[in-house]
Amino acid sequence: MTNLIVELSKYGLAILAALYTLMSFFILKQKGAGQEKGFGLQRVILFFLHFLAYAVMYLQAENDKLLVFYVAQVLLVSLVQILFQAVYPGTNRLVLNNMCFLLSVGFIVLTRLSYDGAVKQFQIALASLLVCFFVPFLIRKLGFLSRISWLYGGVGLFLLVMVMLFGKNSNGAKLALSLGNNFALQPSEFVKILFALFTASRLAKSTALWDVAVTSLVAGAHVVILVLSKDLGGALIFFVMYLIVLYVAAKRPLYLFGGLAAGCVASFVAYQLFAHVRVRVLAWSDPFSYIDKEGYQITQSLFAIGTGGWFGMGLFQGTPNKIPYVEQDFVFSAVAEELGGIFAICLILVCLSSFLMFVNIAMQLREPFYRLAALGLGTLYGFQVFLTIGGGIKCIPSTGVTLPLVSYGGSSLLASLLSFSIIQGMYLLREDEETKIEKEKRVPKREKTKKIKKES
Amino acid sequence: MVTYLFTGLFTLLIGYLVYFEGVLRVDVINNPYNSRQETFAEHVIRGKILASDGTVLAETLVAPDGTETRSYPYGAIFAHVVGYGSHGRSGVEALGNFNLLTSNAFLPERITRELKEEKNVGDNLVTTLDMDLQRAAFAALGDQRGAVVALEPSTGKILCMVSKPDFDPNEIASQWEHWNSLESQDSVLYNRATQGLYAPGSVFKVVTLLAYLRENPEAEETTFSCSGSLTQGEYTISCYGKKAHGTQSLQKAFANSCNTAFSQIGLELDLTAFSRTCDGLLFGKELPVPIPYSISSFALKPGAGDHERMMTAMGQGQTMVSPMHMALITSSIANHGVLMEPYLIDRVENYTGELVRTWKPRVYGALMTDMESQKLTEYMEQVVEEGTAKSLKNLPISVAGKTGSAEYSSDKSKSHAWFIGFTTEEERDLAVCVLVEGAGSGGEHAVPIARVLFEAYYSGRRDSEND
């Protein structure tokens, strides 16, 4: 009987994921109450998806702790939904729903891979969400955020240098600073946010040649330090984000193409200089010839995805733990193996839908700093998703970055939740901007102050 | 702009994933390093492997208590080509593992079985192997060591593949240790047809001839005089049995397999062009062979000494080749110069016989021009007409071929017997390669085996025409 339920649940999970995904694209076409209803339905679908996955895992693992863990997750997600919507009525429902979807998928996969790891992830999520809850409020209150560019740049560079000098060596790359015995921090995850804010604040102020040169120099310093720490994925993400924000701010294609050309030259030089770059490229171009060593991780990942097929092996039916670093860099492959190719494609599309919403929010903002910051954070997110999934399916060489909100890892999770909340906060600003303009147009000054008071 | 760029990137990801799941998947899963294959076996009873006429070559028997045994009704006859399904897998058992462990039975039936927690029945593989040819080749090779390969030149179907010494795959579990131990020096598990590398001897003269014809437009008018041996400096090359062939045309020299004439050619050939011809015939290259094989080698470099040039031109020297590779070259000569990719699995059927998937013949590429293949055919016909394979003349079908006797050690009296050949009637649908280790001359020891194959092929064709 369990066998049958596992078998049928594969199709159920794929269908629910597909429904959720379709709705994230089509709800936006509707207006007003219909849209609100749609988002509500999306939450119901997510609830059933999450329930079905845990039911299947409980039937097989027969571990009562799972029940408690499941209830805790439902409470957390419900609380996030209720609190955000109550305190910030203008909350962007799609960003909020997608955040919950990705978190839930992360919990499901991590529970499958390692129960203890998932519990740790849950605790970090709880603490992070507590912090994130105040982020939109702070963004609205702290007007000086756009003026402290050197603080962002300085702190960011300082943290990166600290990692380069004192970082723990894992897999040849220096990523983390140990603080105490079993607590390690990956500062580059947070520096990403600082870097986006730095870039946005500098370029919002001026895109004159001299200023661009100075900004680019500091941005280049970030990238070079990351390369020296051998965090190639990170370096690439920083680089691409900077180019895109620069292009949008200055509106000069020359910057984009010049930057891309420089990037190509730099990649070539890196390929010649660093052995670990060549290993990654080799493992990508011909993994099966080096299956015992360089290509081991990627071939295990391909075996996992291939064996899973369109509908997956079913939860607990595969062997995703054979992929080294599956919880961090190859979590997508674990999803594809047990939940199937269709579910995996839905996951890509939900990430895309989040990204598109981020860019959409950015483009609606009038204040250049917020606009560029939202765009920067969105680009960081989008490109990181591209790198990790592309690496996992051997579409591009693997760079060893995490899938935001799904992968295991406290720093990554907190930083991703912060990004989502910052963008959420900026979305709420947009509403302020709109009401401000409307009132300036129509309402006499006296009434305006009154209304604002009422609002706050 | 940013939106389009990223939407493009994400679409690329999805597109690649779809391509992977749809196209690349089967090959990836089938990789022997994929330990996940074992999990399939927990849900599916391994399917059958069938000969082209439907005869069962391998099947899984399930005892009342659920114990599964893989049974091979024809034992050693199909040992290497069908292979074994446990202990690392080989042959078709390895090649088609994914299909054998996938069930495409009627969907409601599959779900019912899932519900009852019963295993589903895996799909059957219908191979290209011909019962009559395989049995004939197996019997003809007898207790001798060696290999026989037969292909259908127009499609690339592998019709038979025998390697000796053999083993009985039914005993794989009990004999595995022994077969792999050092005391067992027969290497029975080794598929000599694809993995064995041998000095080609005179069958290589086909290659030398092609290079010579390409280089000299007037080659056909050249005459050679043979006194039984040729001395160049301190080295002497002799004809088989020191026989003096006298004055002869190129065609005669080929038909008589005259070493003296071919050593002469070896001294004349431009080595760069010779190398290029060998490259074109896939020496030192990967072959489109679906099961494990060894890469052949041709080591004559520009600037090589006279002795090496003479030896290489007549098929000795450093050249090493597998019987499968010689069969592929033969097959391309028979098929107007075009090599078809050889294949072993013709189609997949579910256990009730419904078609799941078929393999279509695929062109690998032209190894030579149609003109060149015609020329080589003409020369090879003369070998049967009046040369070293005269004993094939009175067959009911006309054939062309080339014999070889390859010395492989300092003991000049020992040689591997070779024969390559094909039917030359309207439909040239059989190409064979026979190799018998250390047997003696090709004419005496390999040709009779080829003869058995041609006869079996002929009677099989006549039977099917009468049906």
Specify the 3-state DSSP secondary structure of A185. Answer: strand
Neighboring chain A residues of B6 at a CB cutoff of 8 Å: 352, 355-356, 359, 379, 382-383, 386
pLDDT in tens, A292-324: 777 888 888 998 898 888 888 888 888 888 888
Cβ neighbours for B20, distance < 8 A, ≥ 6 positions apart: A302, A305, A306, A393, A394, B28
pLDDT at B367: 95
Say yes or no to pLDDT of A450 above 60.
no
pLDDT band at A353 (very low <50, low <70, confident <90, very high): very high
Distance in Å, alpha carbon of A101 to nearest chain B alpha carbon: 19
Query: What is the count of structural domains for chain A?
Result: 1
Q: What is the DSSP letter of B391?
A: G
CB contact under 8 A, A313 and B31: no
Residue A434 in this model has a pLDDT that exceeds 50? yes
> B371 in contact with A at a CB cutoff of 8 Å?
no
Residue from the list A306, A341, A344 with its beta carbon closest to the beta carbon of B28: A306
Contact status of B112 with chain A (Cβ, < 8 Å): no
**Confidence at residue A282, expressed as pLDDT on a 0 to 100 scale:** 84
Range list for CATH 3.90.1310.10 in chain B: 40-127
Q: Does the beta carbon of B16 lie under 8 angstroms from any beta carbon of chain A?
A: yes
**A341–chain B Cβ distance below 8 A for any pair:** yes
The count of other CB atoms within 10 Å of the CB of residue B49 is: 30
Q: Which residue has the higher pLDDT, B234 or A42?
A: A42
Mean pLDDT, chain B, integer: 89
- The closest of A389, A326, A318 to A352, measured between CA atoms, is A389
Work out the average pLDDT over A431-446. 68
The whole domain housing A351 covers 2-455
pLDDT(B253) > 70: yes
Task: Flag if B114 and A3 touch (Cβ within 8 Å).
Answer: yes
pLDDT tens-digit profile of B93-135? 988 888 898 888 888 888 788 777 788 899 999 999 999 999 9
pLDDT at A255 (0 to 100): 86
Across the interface, which of B14, B114, B117 has its CB nearest the CB of A348?
B14
CB atoms within 10 A of CB A12: 16
Compute CA distances B197 → B78, B145, B194, B298, B454, whole Å: 21, 13, 8, 12, 25
Backbone angles phi, psi at A184, to 5 degrees: -125, 145
- Cα separation, A195 vs A152, in Å, equals 7
Residue A453 has pLDDT above 70, yes or no: no
Measured CA to CA, the distance from residue B71 to residue B82 in angstroms comes to: 12
User: Band of the pLDDT at B27, cuts 50, 70, 90?
Assistant: confident
Domain with CATH 3.40.710.10 in chain B: 201-344+361-466
- For chain A, the distance separating the N- and C-terminal CA atoms, rounded to the nearest angstrom, is 57
Tell me the C-alpha distance between A222 and A236, whole Å.
Answer: 11
What's the whole-number mean pLDDT along residues A208-212? 87
Note the CATH number of domain B201-344+361-466. 3.40.710.10
Rounded to a whole number of angstroms, the distance from the CA of B390 to the nearest CA of chain A is: 47
Per-residue pLDDT tens digits for A264-297: 998 888 888 888 788 888 888 888 877 777 788 8
Is the per-residue pLDDT at A65 higher than 60?
Answer: yes
- Model confidence at A455, pLDDT cuts 50, 70, 90, reads very low
Q: How confident is the model at residue A181 (pLDDT cuts 50, 70, 90)?
A: low
Q: Is A7 on the interface with B (CB under 8 A)?
A: yes
CB A389 within 8 A of CB B13: yes
Mean pLDDT score, B452-464:
86
Q: Tell whether B31 lies on the interface with A, counting CB pairs under 8 A.
A: yes
Residue B72 — φ and ψ, nearest 5°? -120, 95
Residues of chain B neighbouring A344 (CB-CB closer than 8 A): 17
From B112, which residue of chain A is nearest by alpha-carbon distance? Answer: A4
Which pair of structure tokens corresponds to residue B64?
């009342």
Q: Please state the rounded mean pLDDT for residues A184-193.
A: 88
Q: In 10 A of CB B467, how many CB atoms?
A: 5
**What pLDDT shows up at residue A171?**
63
Question: Over the stretch A115-127, which tens digit does the pLDDT of each residue have?
Answer: 999 999 999 999 9
Which ranges of A171-208 does DSSP label H, i.e. alpha helix? Answer: 187-205
Q: Please tell me if residue A5 touches chain B, with a CB cutoff of 8 Å.
A: no
Which residue of chain A has the CA closest to B42? A317
Q: Please give the average per-residue pLDDT across A55-63, as a whole number.
A: 89
B337 pLDDT higher than 90: yes
With an 8 Å Cβ cutoff, are A3 and B39 in contact? no
Q: How far is CA B228 from CA B130, B231, B293, B409, in A?
A: 43, 10, 37, 22
Q: Does B34 touch chain A (CB under 8 A)?
A: yes
B1, B18, B25 member nearest A306 (Cβ):
B25
pLDDT tens digit string along B441-456?
Answer: 888 999 999 999 999 9
With a cut of 80, say whether residue B146 has pLDDT above it: yes
Could you say which of B1, B14, B29 has the minimum Cβ distance to residue A307? B29
Whether residue B32 has pLDDT greater than 80: no
B-chain residues near A3 (CB < 8 A) = 114, 117
Residue B366 reports pLDDT greater than 90: yes
Query: Averaged over B297-306, what is the pLDDT?
Result: 85
- DSSP-assigned letters across all residues of B67-88: -EEEE-TTGGGGHHHH--SSTT
Examine the pLDDT at B183 and tell me if it is beyond 70: no
Cross-chain residue pair B28–A302, CB shorter than 8 Å: yes
Cis peptide before B32 (omega within 30 of 0): no
CATH class name, domain B40-127:
alpha beta
**By the 8 A CB rule, do A101 and A350 touch?**
yes
B13 vs A348: CB contact, 8 Å cut-off?
yes
At A446 the pLDDT is 52
- Residue B28 has its nearest CB partner, among A303, A319, A349, at A303
Q: Dihedral (C-alpha) A312, A316, A321, A326: value to the nearest 10 degrees?
A: 60
| Mean pLDDT score of chain A | 87
Q: Does the structure show a pLDDT above 50 at A456?
A: no
Q: What percent of chain A shows pLDDT beyond 90?
A: 46
**Chain B residues 37-66 with a CB less than 8 Å from chain A:** 37, 39
CB neighbourhood size of A406 (10 A): 29
For the cut 90, the answer to whether the pLDDT of residue A71 exceeds it is yes
Stretch among B99-103, B285-289, B377-381 having the lowest mean pLDDT: B99-103
- Rounded to a whole number, what is the distance in Å from the CA of B395 to chain A's nearest CA? 47
Average pLDDT of the residues in A361-371: 90
